Amino acid sequence: MDAGRERAGPVRGAPRAVRDLLDATDPGLVRLVGAAHTVGAICLALAVLWALGFDTPYLVAAGSSALVWSMVLTGPREAEQAVTHALGLPAALLSATAAVLLAPYPVVSGTFFVALLFVTVYVRRYGPRGTALGMNAFQMYFVMQFVPLPAAGLPRLWAALAVAFACGAVVRFALLRTSPARSFVRLRRSVRACLADVTGALAALADGGDASGRDRDRDRAGRIAALRRRLRRLHTCALMLQDAVEACAAPEVAAPVRTRMTETDVRAERLAVMLLRLGQDGGTSPQDFAHRLHLPVTGVPTGDAGAGAGGASLAARLRALPELVATGAAPAPAARPVPAPVPTAVTALADAHRALTDFEQAAAGLHEAFRRDPTPGTAPSAPPPPRAPSPPEPGGLRRPTTRAAVQVACGATLATAGGQLISADHWYWSVLACWMVFFNTSSTGEIALKGSRRVAGTLAGALVGLFVASALAGRPWPAFVLTLVCVFGMAYTAALSYTAATFFITLMIALLSDLLGSYTDGLLWIRIAETTFGVLCGVAAAVVVLPRATGRRTDVLLGDALRALAEAVTATARRLVAPDAEPSPDDLIRAAHTADRRVEELERALTPLVHPVAPHRARRRTSLYVLGLLETCAYHVRVLAVEAGRGEPGSWSRSPARPLLEERARTVADRLEALAEGRVDGARPRAPGGAPEPGAAAPEEARVLKHFRRMDDDVRALTAALRRGGAGAPDPAAGDGPARGPA
């Protein structure tokens, strides 16, 4: 990628570098497009209303409505978004009308506010549409608390809100339309940018550098960390691409893209593992280096990947890799054999050359699959295969949405009473903070962590707002432009950092108060106090009222992830040994994709436990270790899905290695199922001796058997970690990790 920028020249290369950076760090430009929708809707609504002569309070109400609605309106397809958008206006009108009519009656207004909070959280059970409508109704009621209007102004308020929704529709569905096909095109570009970053990191890893001793080890550690980040980013983008192509392409187009994307993802990771092995002693298992990409281990390989003629040849191939990936011009396998100067005894170097060839071929196949672009607006020609039914949700107060609704109602009641004591004019900030900590959270730990981030962002925004508001006093246009910048920053960082989003919100409040002529230095200190008190009320409600411990939720998600991995392993084995056509290669990729998503859900739920400031250090180490093992298992599942899908069904039916394959697959699946059921000691033990090792397995068969064995090693290590529980994570280097069999 750097060479491409040099050839393009400094003027042309700078915009290209910025675009590549955005594509790689924001897959599909999801955050950028969302922020553009928000700012565009606000600007268009304010411009129209200003031209029509609406006063400032109506502009603030309409702009706030456009802001909130643009951020919460989601849905996989445009038609679903359009229906939700049409329902959003009545919800906003009813909520705003109630706020205006109840304003003269503080007690009634506060009671209605708490009831509305309950309903807002309760309707989350109806999916994205219920969440969006509830959020919109609550935010409009909240906005009308600091934009008081007389009842006589309701007709103009209704008109302003109608204009805001109309402008939002124009921006989303016309000016900045985002169809599934366009999302796929942007994700395809992001995949290419991520691949360019990964190839650069791989070349840097193979380059020994000029430093020596401790500096060299430190430099290599930094390169490994960079490679891990870029591989993770590529994997995230790959999962998003598979979701996008499912919604916009016919099956005959979507299936090759899913397969090639998964193959490229796993080939890149395998190449990284092989490069990490270079220069190590022959007794070290590749499993150790696979763990370096997933587990929080310490220690850095000190081998020299560039030693010898074979190493020089590998380095030259890696330097040429970005160009091959960009053009899709990788040669056929027969045209790129392992170079002759490589001694056959140097297994790691030979494996690295073969892994590089596999990656080149996978990238070329992905490039070819990308040429078959889906037609915008094309719906799948056949419905997707039915998914396994989800287990029924518990009823009554055990239902997550009902529990959260009761918690937020109790917390909001306390926040309303206490917020009135802090400031009778700004008590609603306390209620807002209490409610926000329950948004997109499902456990006490998540609520506490989100609350701390909101307080930190509010404090930082208030400190900056004190300076900015005073510097821009009496200068409305710069303040207005900076307000739009804050809106963009809030929308862009909302999915990335809640602390940053809260910072922009607080700074925007300071600027808006200055524009409305109500700013005082004490205003921001009141916001800090109200926010802190509201967060404390929310956390207290989560701890006291129907609490749901973080560990209980993570146990459920861990079981889901383990079952998904077991199903993928079983499907792969069935494809290899059964002569029928099911499961298809695409079904295997879907199963691996489901397992990846389940592990992702568990990772998000574990955030409070693995946070650097988490109080239970041993539990944090255990959680990180377990999560790393699950990610390694998911990697093996992806590799096995790719390998099994390349051949015909039942290709192992007459192989001498079939009994060993069936035993290993059954053992892995049984262990995973036992762990999913909470039985860390109840897995079916391996039979003494087991199936005999095949005398001479084909290279493809040997690779599949190795991945099954290594996955079994990981699952046994996972069993040991879960058995020990909070006693501390096993240390792979100390012998408590996966078994060290020969490579």
pLDDT in tens, 46-95: 999 999 999 988 998 999 999 988 888 877 678 888 899 999 999 999 99
pLDDT above 90 coverage of the chain, percent: 41
User: Which candidate, 705, 720, 737, places its Cα nearest to that of 290?
Assistant: 737
Going by C-beta distance under 8 Å and a sequence separation of 6 or more, which residues neighbour residue 29?
A: 22, 23, 186, 190
Burial track 335-358 (b if 16+ CB lie within 10 A, e otherwise)? ebebbeebeeebebbbbbbbbbbb
Backbone φ and ψ of 395, nearest 5°: -95, 175
Alpha-carbon distance values, 630 to 281, 592, 626, 627, 674 (Å):
27, 13, 6, 5, 15
Within a 10 A sphere around the Cβ of 72, how many other Cβ atoms?
18
Q: How far apart are CA 317 and CA 418, in angstroms?
A: 67
pLDDT band at 183 (very low <50, low <70, confident <90, very high): confident
CA dist 545 → 86, 517, 526 (Å): 36, 41, 28
**CB half-sphere exposure, 598, CA atoms < 13 A:** 26
> What pLDDT digit, counting tens, does each position of 115-129 carry?
999 999 999 888 888
∠ CA 588-195-284, rounded to 5°: 70
pLDDT recorded at residue 177: 86
The residue length of the chain stands at 743
Contact of 164 with 62, CB cutoff 8 Å: yes
Task: Compute CA distances 704 → 223, 640, 656, 664, 700, whole Å.
Answer: 30, 6, 14, 11, 6
Of residues 110 and 502, more confidence is placed in 502
- Selected residue with higher pLDDT from 207 and 333: 207
pLDDT number for residue 463 = 92
Question: 656: Cβ–Cβ under 8 A, 6 or more apart, which residues?
Answer: 694, 695, 697
Which tokens belong to 384? 């997707």
The better pLDDT of the pair 98, 15 is held by 98
What average pLDDT is seen over the chain? Answer: 81
For residues 169, 170, 174 and 180, what is the CA-based torsion angle, rounded to 10 degrees? -20
As a whole number of angstroms, the distance between CA 48 and CA 59 comes to 10
pLDDT band at 428 (very low <50, low <70, confident <90, very high): confident
Token pair in block for residue 710: 């290594």
Over residues 226-264, the pLDDT tens digits come to: 888 999 999 999 999 988 887 776 677 788 899 999 999
pLDDT in tens, 287-341: 555 555 666 544 444 444 444 445 678 888 888 888 887 777 655 444 444 444 4
Intra-chain end-to-end CA distance of the chain, in Å: 34
Tell me the CB-side half-sphere exposure of residue 728, using CA atoms within 13 A: 5
Cβ atoms of residues 627 and 722 within 8 Å? no
CA–CA dist 677, 368 (Å, integer): 43
Chain centroid to Cα 57, Å, comes to 38
DSSP string, 321-369: HHHHHHHT-PPPGGGSPPPTTS-TT-HHHHHHHHHHHHHHHHHHHHHHH
Averaged over 339-357, what is the pLDDT?
66
On whether the CB atoms of residues 167 and 103 are closer than 8 A, the answer is no
User: Token pair 């930094």 is at which residue?
Assistant: 222
Of the candidates 654, 732, 16, 723, which has an alpha carbon nearest to the alpha carbon of residue 326?
Answer: 16
Range in 343-352, 516-525, 668-677 with the lowest mean pLDDT: 343-352
Q: pLDDT tens for residues 382-418?
A: 444 444 444 555 656 678 888 889 999 999 999 999 9
At 162, list the tokens.
């109608």
Surface-to-core class of residue 589, CB atoms within 10 Å of its CB (0-12 exposed, 13-18 middle, 19+ buried):
buried
Digit-coded pLDDT (tens) for 353-380: 888 999 999 999 998 888 875 554 444 4
Per the structure block, which two tokens stand in for 128? 């994205």
pLDDT at res. 43: 95
